[in-house]
A and B are shown apart, each in its own frame.
Chain A
Amino acid sequence: MDRLHYFVILTTFVMSTAVGLTAIFFFILYRRRSETQTTPHIEPAPLLEAAFVIIPLAFFLLWWVMGYRTAIGLATPPADAMDIYVQGKKWMWKFAYPGGPNSVNVLRVPSGRPVRLLMTSRDVIHSFYVPEFRVKQDVLPGRYSQVWFQAVEPGRFQILCAEYCGAGHSIMRGEVIVLKAEEYEDWVSAQHRGLATKQDGPPTALDFAPPLGNLVDQGRRLAQEQGCVKCHSVDGSQHIGPTWLDLYGRRERLSDGRIVNVDEGYITESMMDPFAKIVDGFKPVMPSFANKLAGPEVAAIVEYIKSLQSDAVRTGPSEGPAYAPVRGR
């Protein structure tokens, strides 16, 4: 793929420069010498016109053959690929390992082993993009798409969302952490024992803590730690703030008469900027949690709120959908 990359870029440069130079050369050679100059009538030889067609066509078809062969490779995961399920939603990435833990925004993979990601979206189209791996695939709602890669060396690589998905599009970022195979096994077993510790060195802006267990549990713990439940009940009784039971999906009337649908965006906004939309009948007393909560923590609380449904359909960790194994072998 890199060879193709450089081949294509090189031909592009050579061509543009050649055309530019020829134009300049002609300009110098055939300057207008008098205002009444006449010029001969020149018709190109048919052979020349044919060359104008055939030479670029040959190059372009060569590009296509090389490019398409590589592309088929990019679209065809090997049979022994390890499957990880990915769910994109505004504006985070959720990863689920078969029979293993879930994580938000941090994908851990072993090096030297092909990994297939099976991806779907909960809301709008996102696109899973890791520039360093040269992989990109749109993540569609209502459908599954796949992408595969094989990391060669341990390291950390940024995941970006490449399909425009709204206000948080540019901060819908995550990270692939490529571990050595044995470290990866250790991490998985630690996850299973629930004993994971931070293994990623000093925290950086990108260093989102991998959640323990599932998001809902984590959200429940956070809601207690942060004091949310002092004002918001989870059993339906009204307190200082609106109850969280059945909050998600509810239509709330605001103090200024507007109606909002309570969705992830609204919940997040209420945490970050509580005075933006005050529910009718409540006082604007909630403190802002901007800069107090990291992205995944917000996500965890949102997930927790979403799990609080009286018919309890949304509890439990996200499970990867049932897939057939990779076909063809």
Chain B
Amino acid sequence: MRQSEEDREKLGAPPAHDSYLTDGTTVMSWLNTRDHKRVGVMFLAAVVFFLFLGGVFALAIRMKLLYPGPFLFDALTYNRLFTLHGVTMIFLFMIPAIPSAFGNFVLPLMIGARDVAFPRLNLASFYVYLAGAVLAIWAMVHGGADTGWTFYTPYSTTTPTMLFPLLLGVFVLGFSSIMTGINFIVTVHTLRAPGVGWMRLPLFVWSIYATSIIQVLATPVLGLTVLLVALERVLQFGIFDPARGGDPVLFQHFFWFYSHPAVYIMVLPGMAVISECVATFSRKNPFGYKAIAFSSLGIAFVGFFTWGHHLFVAGQSVFDNGVFGVLSMFVGIFTAVKVFNWVGTMYRGAISFKTPFAYICGFLFFLVFGGMTGVALATVALDVHWHDTYFVVAHFHFIMVGAVIMAFLAALHYWFPKMFGRTYHEGWGLVAASLIILGFNATFIPQFLLGNNGMPRRYYQYPEHFQALNVASTAGATLLGFGFVIIFIYLLIALRWGPRCEQNPWRSKGFEWLTESPPPTHNFDRIPHITQDPHDYRTHAPSGVYADV
């Protein structure tokens, strides 16, 4: 990022004034910034690092599973690896990935604001995130915990591994998540530019808004839960201790009250990205704008009523199983509405098959398949067979890796020119996209079969007749890893040497493209007055005019 100035001289086309990237180039100007765009970029760098770390853990796990017996490392290491894989991917990558990185960057641009409502809180959110990450890494370096990312009691209250710093890390990360959530909600409420009514908010903003609601409502419960586990470990308060009348299943209620909505904290931003990208690359107004917008809120709301479907065989009452079963079905409906409307957006559009669009296709397939298997899992009787098997593993990886990482990569490719003012190599982009989609299917479709045949999750050793499918899955994972490496390389190259792009390379009519790429520090010299709905492709006229023009 430091290179911009010299490059600009080389290219001989100096922009009108400094972009946010060049407005102060010292390290401190980054670390002490109040600029939402810089915070976003710092978040992006951090989450990419943790994606890499989590990916390494995942590959190690897959390598071990090549053989049914002990191999490479022992059971304890294996257990620690999958715990760390889960914690890293979920708390350090998935939850902040799209909202904190891309949300921070483009959300204020999209509503025509000069910054988020509380810029200092925003920066604090990043540092709190780093603090949580450091605690988690510290726990990992000192041996790591072996409870799985779910921390189920009483195993988590009795295991001798380094759980305490990990719990503390998760607790601290929760604060970061809450800060970001509060910031976005307030930003959307108070900082919309003139002309941006609620029904003109870009769909990305709607989804991030819904995400923020979940972050604010659910995260405190997780904070309390990990606090209780930590207290139970240190002081033996006995809240979840069966010997004192405590109920381990209560922990699961608490945990999933956060963690099921947390799935939507991860998926909704993915849907946000897709809503934008589908419109841009189909060059068409979103089909059923209101349906997509309100289904985001619907998911945020109903997402809270479904946590019990993780407890169907955990000793939850049959009555609650039924209630949670039927409530879970409704989340599927909102997702279905979104999917149909995205496909509808393509109808009579003008589709260009660029790299982000490849990821959209991947996303649609993974989300529908992953989502439908999710609803299938919420069908109480079927869950009895599938629960805690690789079927579940494959299902949530379809949603989280399949859908969310596809959306993350789509966002990365879609907004890369916006963020850095440069373009990447389109050909390599498509190669990597196809590798990733292929590798992903090869990794997780065998896992569906494994789970259906009865292989439980978190198994270090497994019965031999599962080996063939496990090998297939590992092969797919390797392919997936290669895809990520390719992306990493060509994006790094693009960051340094990529050709400069114009202000709006996709000719998108999303509001964030109304300013330069990369944007100047205060986003807009003059706040635009928005006169059109987002993604109105009936005309070529810009979607806003400047207030005093």
Across the interface, which residues of A come within 8 angstroms of B339, CB to CB?
A: 19
Within 8 A of A (CB), among B210-262: 242-243, 245-249
Give A90-118 as 1s and 0s: 1 = Cβ < 8 Å from B's Cβ atoms. 00000000000000000000000000000
B251 to chain A: closest residue by CB = A125
Assembled-state Cα–Cα distance A8/B288 (Å): 28
Within 8 A of B (CB), among A4-23: 4-5, 8-9, 11-12, 15-16, 19-20, 22-23
Contact of A67 with B by CB under 8 A:
yes
CB pair A38 B336 closer than 8 Å: no
Assembled-state Cα–Cα distance A56/B332 (Å): 8
Kindly specify which of B10-18, B178-186, B362-370, B422-430 makes contact with the partner chain. B362-370
B369 to chain A: closest residue by CB = A16
- Identify which of A32, A131, A168 contacts B352 (C-beta below 8 A): A32
Give B198 Cβ to nearest chain A Cβ, in Å: 17
With contact pairs A63-B379, A168-B75 given, residues A38 and B291 touching in the complex (Cβ less than 8 Å): no
CB pair A70 B381 closer than 8 Å: yes
CB pair A42 B341 closer than 8 Å: no
- Could you tell me how many residues of chain B have their Cβ less than 8 Å away from some Cβ of chain A? 88
CB pair A71 B385 closer than 8 Å: no
CB pair A71 B155 closer than 8 Å: no
Give B300-329 as 1s and 0s: 1 = Cβ < 8 Å from A's Cβ atoms. 000000000000111100100110011001
Assembled-state Cα–Cα distance A239/B365 (Å): 68
Contact of A53 with B by CB under 8 A:
yes
Contact of A225 with B by CB under 8 A:
no
A5 to chain B: closest residue by CB = B382
Across the interface, which residues of A come within 8 angstroms of B453, CB to CB?
A: 131
CB pair B314 A42 closer than 8 Å: no
Within 8 A of A (CB), among B367-392: 368-369, 372-373, 375-376, 378-382, 384-385, 387-389
Kindly specify which of B23-31, B54-62, B454-462 makes contact with the partner chain. B454-462
Assembled-state Cα–Cα distance A263/B249 (Å): 25
CB pair A140 B249 closer than 8 Å: yes
Assembled-state Cα–Cα distance A69/B539 (Å): 55
Across the interface, which residues of A come within 8 angstroms of B321, CB to CB?
A: 68, 71, 75
Contact of A39 with B by CB under 8 A:
yes
Give B438 Cβ to nearest chain A Cβ, in Å: 14
B246 to chain A: closest residue by CB = A142
CB pair A53 B337 closer than 8 Å: yes
Kindly specify which of B110-118, B146-154, B165-173, B471-479 makes contact with the partner chain. B146-154
- Identify which of A32, A138, A162, A166 contacts B315 (C-beta below 8 A): A138
Contact of B536 with A by CB under 8 A:
yes
Give A281 Cβ to nearest chain B Cβ, in Å: 23
- Could you tell me how many residues of chain A have their Cβ less than 8 Å away from some Cβ of chain B? 80
Across the interface, which residues of B come within 8 angstroms of A40, CB to CB?
A: 348, 538
CB pair B350 A32 closer than 8 Å: yes
Assembled-state Cα–Cα distance A67/B326 (Å): 10
Contact of A152 with B by CB under 8 A:
no
Assembled-state Cα–Cα distance A141/B245 (Å): 10
Across the interface, which residues of A come within 8 angstroms of B382, CB to CB?
A: 1, 4-5, 8, 67
A124 to chain B: closest residue by CB = B155
Across the interface, which residues of B come within 8 angstroms of A66, CB to CB?
A: 379, 381
- Identify which of A11, A35, A64, A136 contacts B313 (C-beta below 8 A): A136
Q: Kindly name the residue among B246, B369, B538 whose own CB sees the greatest number of chain A CB atoms within 10 A.
A: B369
CB pair A27 B284 closer than 8 Å: no
Assembled-state Cα–Cα distance A38/B536 (Å): 9
Q: Which of A's residues lie within 8 Å of B, judged by CB?
A: 1, 4-5, 8-9, 11-12, 15-16, 19-20, 22-24, 26-27, 30-33, 35-44, 49, 52-53, 56-57, 60-61, 63-64, 66-75, 123-125, 127, 129, 131-132, 134-138, 140-143, 145, 158, 160-171, 173
Q: Which of B's residues lie within 8 Å of A, judged by CB?
A: 75-76, 79, 146-148, 152, 154-155, 158-159, 242-243, 245-249, 282-285, 287-288, 291, 312-315, 318, 321-322, 325-326, 329-330, 332-333, 336-337, 339-341, 343-344, 346-353, 361, 364-365, 368-369, 372-373, 375-376, 378-382, 384-385, 387-389, 453-454, 456-463, 507, 536-540
27 contacts between A and B (CB under 8 A): A1-B381, A8-B379, A16-B365, A19-B343, A20-B365, A24-B361, A26-B343, A30-B350, A32-B283, A35-B507, A38-B283, A38-B539, A39-B285, A42-B344, A43-B288, A44-B341, A52-B291, A53-B333, A57-B333, A68-B325, A71-B321, A71-B384, A72-B318, A125-B152, A163-B152, A168-B75, A173-B463
Since A38-B538, A43-B288 are in contact, a sample of 14 more A-B pairs with Cβ atoms closer than 8 Å, ordered by chain A residue number, is: A8-B376, A19-B343, A39-B282, A41-B285, A56-B333, A61-B326, A63-B376, A67-B379, A71-B318, A75-B318, A158-B454, A164-B148, A166-B146, A168-B75
